[in-house]
Chain A
Amino acid sequence: MHVIIFTWEFPPRTVGQLADYVKRLAVQLSQKAVNTDVVTYHEFSTGKEEEPEGIKTYRVTNPVKTHIGVLTWVLTLNQEVERVASNIYYNAGRQVALVDAHDWHFIHAAVTLKKAFKLPFIYSVESLEEHRSHGANFPFNMAIKSIEWLGLYEAKKIIVKSEWMRDEVIRIYNVPEDKIKVVMPDSQEWIDGILKTYKGLAGGAG
C-alpha cells in the first residue's frame, strides 16, 4: 500500500506536537510495510530525502515569500504540495492508495487531487479553529473554518484522536458519526487502528 501524508510540520521543523506525531506515524507505517511518502514544508531545505527509517520526505517551500498572515501563506503553499504529490502519483504509475491530510493546511491540495485522480483522502484532525480561536469569528477565522468544513465534507474518512474531538466535529460541523474514526495515539491498538482505516479506504488495493 502506497500512502502520501500531508503535514505542515515535520521534524526538524517542529511547531507544535503534530510534527512528532506524524513522524512516529510515518515510521510505524513504514515498519508495517506501507510505502510512506511525507509531503511537508521547509523554508529552504527543500527536495526529496530518504530518511534512515525508510520513509521518504518531500519538503516544499512557499513560492510567494511575502505574506500578510498565516492564511494567505497557507493558501499559496498548496500548489507546491499539489505539484510534488502529483509527481509522486505519476511516478508510482498512479498506484497510490490514499492521502492522509493532517489538519487544515493542505486540505485544498487533498481535495484537488481527489477531484483530479479520484484519489481518496483521510482528514486527520489534530485541532479545530473553533477551539484555537476561542470563539473569535472574524473573517480570518471563518475562512479557516470553511476550509475545515470542505475537508470534512470531501474526506472519505475522518480520523480523530479522542472521543471528545469526535463529538466536537459532530457538534460544530454536523458530520455523520459513521464517517469519523477515533484512534487514540497512546493506545496499544493505535497503528493497527490507523492501518485498518487505511485498508478500509484502499479497498484491498495494494
Chain B
Amino acid sequence: MTGELTVMMLTWEFPPRIIGGISPHVYHLSKNLAKNGMKVYVVTCDFPGSPQHEIIDGVEVFRVDSYKNPSPDFATWVYLMNINMQKEAADLISRLGGKLDILHAHDWLVANAGIGLKHVFRKPLLATVHSTEIGRRNGIHLDYERMIHETEAWLTYEAWKVICCSDYMVSHVRWAFGLPEDKITMLPNGVDIQECNSRKKTGFSDFRKRYASPEEKIVLFVGRLVYEKGIHVFVNAVPKVLEKANAKFVIVGNGYMREPLSKLVDSMGLAHKVMFTGFVDDNTLRDLQGCADVCVVPSLFEPFGIVALEAMASRSPVVVSDTGGLSEIVEHDVTGVKVYPENPDSLAWGIMRVLLDEKYSSWLKKNAYKKIHEKYGWDRIGQQTIDVYRSVLKEYSKSFWS
C-alpha cells in the first residue's frame, strides 16, 4: 500500500454523545489511528449543541441527522437512523471520489449502513463486535431479540474481518454466529493512561470529603445499573463487608435498577453507607477512581470490562468477578482479586482482602499499573489495528473488487 490509508468509522455514539463503551472506544481508536498517519472519518449520530462537521484531534467527524420522530421501539429506530447514516455517508464517500480504503462498523447499531456502503462502493468492511444480544439477554427469548441477534449475525457474515476485544468474546462470537476461527481477530480495548492520571492527586481530601468521612474506606462501583452488571450482588455484599471494615460504598451510574436497589439499601438500614451519585462527568469519575480504596466490577456478563482497566490505570486496586473479559484482564493475586460471579460472600471476601491488607493492596496496584502499560495502551492498539487493516487490504487487492 502506498499513500495515506483512509478509514471511515461508523458508530451510533461518539463524544460528546456517550451511551456506553463504544463512544470512548471509537474516539481513542480514531485519535490514535490519525496520530499514526491515517486519514480517519467518523460518521455518527447528531447530538444537541455539537456541530454537524468538525475535526477533533485529527479526526474528521460528521454527525448525521438521526431519526427524530417517535419510534415504535429501539430496534426500529436503529434501522431508521441507518437510512440517514447510509445516505450521508454515501454522499461523503462519493465526494471523496473513491478515496477510501476501509469501512469499519461498530456493533449491529450501524450494520445496515456498513453493509450497504460495502456493496455500493465495493470496499472491505470490518466489524467490531463489542457485545451481543444473546449475551446481554442471557439467551434469545423474543422475536425482537432474535431480530437483533440475526442482524448481528448478518454483520459478521458481511464483514471481511470481525474484531473482538477479548479472547472470551472471540469464543463467544464464534459460538453465537458460527464463524470460522480465522475470520476473527482479537484486539484488546484500551485505556488512556495519561487521561486516567491527569488529575492532581493533591487536594483529594477535600474532594474525598464529599463522598466519605476520613476513617471510611471508599468502595467504588462504576457502571450502568442493570442486571448484567451485577450491581445487586454488590449491594448484597455491603453488610458482609461492614462486619469487618468501615467503608462507604459509592455507586456511579444510572439504570433501571437504581430505584429498587436504593429501596433495598434503605430497608437494610444502610442508606448512610451507600451513596448513589447517578451519572458523573469525566473529571469527577477520574478523581473518584483515583481516591477509591478499591474498585469493584461484579458483572455477570462482561464482554470486556473497560471500567476495570480505568481503575487499574488510576492506580486503584480492583476486585472483579471471574467472568468474560474480566477474567483475562485480571490475574488473581497479581494484578487484582477475582471472585465468583453472582456470589455476595465471595465478593465481600475479595473486597475485605484488599481493604484490610495495605501491603497486598499496593502490590496489586503496582503490578496492575505495569500490566496496563504493557498491554492496554491505545498507541499499541492503534498500531495493531493498522496491521489488521493492511492485511485485509492485501487480500482485497487480489479480489476483483479492487
- Chain A residues touching B, range: 35 or more
| B73 is an interface residue with CB less than 8 A from chain A | yes
Closest residue to B71 on the A side, CB-wise? Answer: A139
Q: Which of A67, A112, A150 has the most CB of B within 10 A?
A: A112
Q: Is the CB of A116 within 8 A of B93?
A: yes
* Contact among A71, A78, A142 with B112 in the assembled complex (CB-CB below 8 Å): A78
How far, in angstroms, from A82 to B89 measured CA to CA in the complex? Answer: 14
Residues of B near A72 (CB, < 8 A) are 75-76, 79, 147
Q: Determine the distance from Cα of A113 to Cα of B82 in the docked complex, in whole angstroms.
A: 15
Question: Chain B: which residue is nearest A65 at the CB level?
Answer: B150
How many A-B pairs fall under 8 Å by CB?
102
- The reply to whether A116 and B94 contact each other, CB–CB distance below 8 Å, is yes
Question: How long is the Cα–Cα vector from A40 to B247 in the complex, in angstroms?
Answer: 65
Which of the residues A68, A76, A118, A142 comes within 8 Å of B94, measured between beta carbons? A118
Q: Are the CB atoms of B87 and A75 closer together than 8 Å?
A: no
B90 within 8 A of A: yes
**A82-B120, A112-B87 are known contacts. Are A67 and B76 too (CB-CB below 8 A)?**
no
**Number of B residues with CB within 8 Å of any CB on chain A:** 35
A178 and B133 CA atoms in complex are apart in Å by: 48
The minimal Cβ–Cβ distance linking A11 to chain B, given in whole angstroms, is 26
Measured in the bound complex, the distance between the Cα atoms of B122 and A140 in whole Å is: 33
* A191-B83 Cα distance, complex, nearest whole Å: 32
Asked if A115 and B94 make an inter-chain contact with CB atoms under 8 angstroms apart, the answer reads yes
Distance from A82 Cβ to chain B, minimum over Cβ atoms (Å): 5
- Give the residues from 148 to 176 in chain B that come closer than 8 angstroms, CB to CB, to chain A: 149-151, 154, 157
- CB distance A108 to B147 under 8 Å? no
Contacts known (A68-B147, A111-B87); A75 close to B122, Cβ less than 8 A: no
User: Which B residues touch A113, using CB under 8 A?
Assistant: 120
Instruction: Tell me whether B86 is interfacial, beta carbon within 8 Å.
Output: yes
B330 at the interface (CB under 8 A from A): no
* Residues on the A chain within 8 Å of B150, using CB: 63-66
Bound complex: CA of A83 vs CA of B225, how far in Å?
41
Known: A79-B115, A112-B90, A115-B90. A63 touches B146 (CB 8 A): no
Chain A residues near B91 (CB-CB < 8 A): 115-116
Bound together, the chains give a CA A142 to CA B70 distance in angstroms of: 8
Identify the interface centre among A67, A82, A113, A116: most chain B CB within 10 Å of its CB: A116
Looking at the assembled complex, report how far the CB atom of B291 sits from the nearest CB atom of chain A, in whole angstroms.
46
Q: Say if the beta carbon of B72 comes within 8 Å of chain A.
A: yes
Neighbouring A residues of B151 by C-beta, 8 Å: 64, 76
Which of A67, A75, A116, A142 is in CB contact (< 8 Å) with B83?
Answer: A75
Q: How far is the CB of B177 from chain A (nearest CB, A)?
A: 13
Q: Are A66 and B147 closer than 8 Å at their CB atoms?
A: yes
Q: Quick check: is A46 within 8 A (CB to CB) of the other chain?
A: no
Q: Using Cβ atoms and an 8 Å threshold, which residues of chain A touch B146? A: 66
Q: Is B69 an interface residue (CB 8 A)?
A: yes
Is A147 an interface position by the 8 A CB rule?
A: yes
Q: CA separation between A143 and B81, bound complex, in Å?
A: 11
Closest 10 CB pairs of A and B: A75-B79, A115-B90, A83-B119, A66-B146, A115-B91, A116-B90, A79-B116, A139-B70, A64-B150, A63-B154
A-B contact pairs, 16 of them (CB 8 A): A64-B154, A65-B150, A68-B147, A71-B79, A82-B116, A83-B119, A108-B83, A111-B83, A112-B90, A115-B88, A115-B90, A116-B91, A116-B94, A139-B69, A143-B76, A150-B83
By a beta-carbon cutoff of 8 Å, the part of chain A in contact with chain B is: 63-69, 71-72, 75-76, 78-79, 82-83, 86-87, 90, 108-109, 111-113, 115-118, 138-140, 142-143, 146-147, 150
Interface residues of B (CB under 8 A from A): 67, 69-73, 75-76, 79-80, 82-83, 86-88, 90-91, 93-94, 112, 115-116, 119-122, 143-144, 146-147, 149-151, 154, 157
Q: A64-B147, A66-B143, A115-B90 are in contact. List 9 more A-B contacts (CB 8 A).
A: A64-B150, A68-B76, A72-B75, A72-B76, A75-B76, A83-B119, A108-B83, A146-B69, A146-B80
